[in-house]
Amino acid sequence: MFLLLKNGEVYDPDYVGISDILILNGKIALIDKGIDINCTGLDIKVLNLRGMRLVPGFIDNHVHIIGGGGEAGFESRTPEVTLSSITECGVTTVVGVLGTDGTTRHPETLLAKARGLKNEGISAYIYTGSYELPLITLTGSARRDIVLISEVIGTGEIAVSDHRSSVPTVEELTRIATDTRLGGMLSGKVGVLNLHMGSGREGFSSIFKVLKDTEIPIRHFLPTHVTRTRDLFEQSKIFAALGGTIDMTAGSNDAASFSGVSIADAVNSCLENGIPIEKITISSDGNGSMPKFNKDGYLEGFAVAKLSSLQKELKAMLMSGLDLTVALKPFTSNVARVLGLHSKGRLAVDSDADITVLDGDLNIDVVMAGGRVMVESGRAVVRGTFE
């Protein structure tokens, strides 16, 4: 079936203008002004999106798709995500992570959930490995997982500079980064090492040492949660200035214990310091817990991170003065490039037809994944198997 989107204001995320988009077999077949198809016998659905902004579907590169948390006991384990909780937030691609608990949660379950989400209509990938060391993997090594399992695009999230981490040494980080890089090379993937950055004194020091003392390219490292403290953020800017990409966590300033930098301020600070927007990605940490620890390391409370924080941060970035063409990139094209998802993150011919439609107030109106309408008028019209 052909799907023709008419009269929308298209962002690639660069500005294209008022255009029509023709979709066929889940791909964008044509973008042009005034596309008209009048072939008898063709199955064509037309959506008039006048007054709407059409942007690439958001790619959330850090989601606890099988739940997270657990720091306050078994009852504090957060639940699995549902399909509609993803798509109603404008997200069409997720990357699943295991999180703090690698004891009662397992990479096999993570992989099964990603495949389930794929069957339900969106794109889903995972990181192999775990918060702690030694790594918990599917085949016995991160390299083998990346090479042999299509959904595995890298390793993570591995905690550093955090009182809940296994305090990985420089040598351990080097070995993991090497395995991840080689797994990517052998499988034609990027091979990304996703690093959970805590608020400990170590900060980026071990990462800087790996970069200084080895030949591993900086593009394989993706440190996340980098705005959680002011000091950590300042170190992340040094990392980005060296050519690395930093991942900021949307909604983190909603946590009661947050003492860092808001996303809008952080992005503007990077730009003011000569760090290009292309070196920034933004993820939600969706379905993970946002714990509050006191100065002695005792848990005082927690909330649950939401994928909807992405849209909230997009609006905040626009209110801070950023143009939509700039603000969109950390949610779309930047993520696709860093993760090697070549058919994602752009509205271009031959790209996957993953499209989020925003109304005049930048609220999510329609979401399409692979050309299939998943959300209409802000509500899911396709729901997960058990919703």
What span, in angstroms and rounded, lies between the C-alpha atoms of 49 and 168? 51
Query: Per the residue annotation, which of 20, 247, 285, 354 is the catalytic one?
Result: 285
Q: Are 227 and 266 in contact (CB under 8 A)?
A: yes
Planar angle of CA 129, 133, 134, nearest 5 degrees: 80
Q: Is 285 a catalytic residue?
A: yes
200 Cβ neighbours under 8 A, 6+ residues apart: 161, 162, 163
- Helical H runs in 121-155? 142-148
Q: H or E element: which one contains 183?
A: helix 170-187
Q: H or E element: which one contains 379?
A: strand 379-380
Structure tokens at 311: 């849209």
What span, in angstroms and rounded, lies between the C-alpha atoms of 119 and 12? 27
Planar angle of CA 249, 253, 259, nearest 5 degrees: 105
Residue 94 phi, psi (nearest 5): -125, 155
29 Cβ neighbours under 8 A, 6+ residues apart: 22, 23, 349
Planar angle of CA 139, 142, 144, nearest 5 degrees: 55
Residue 215's CB: how many other CB atoms inside 10 A? Answer: 7
Residues involved in catalysis? 285
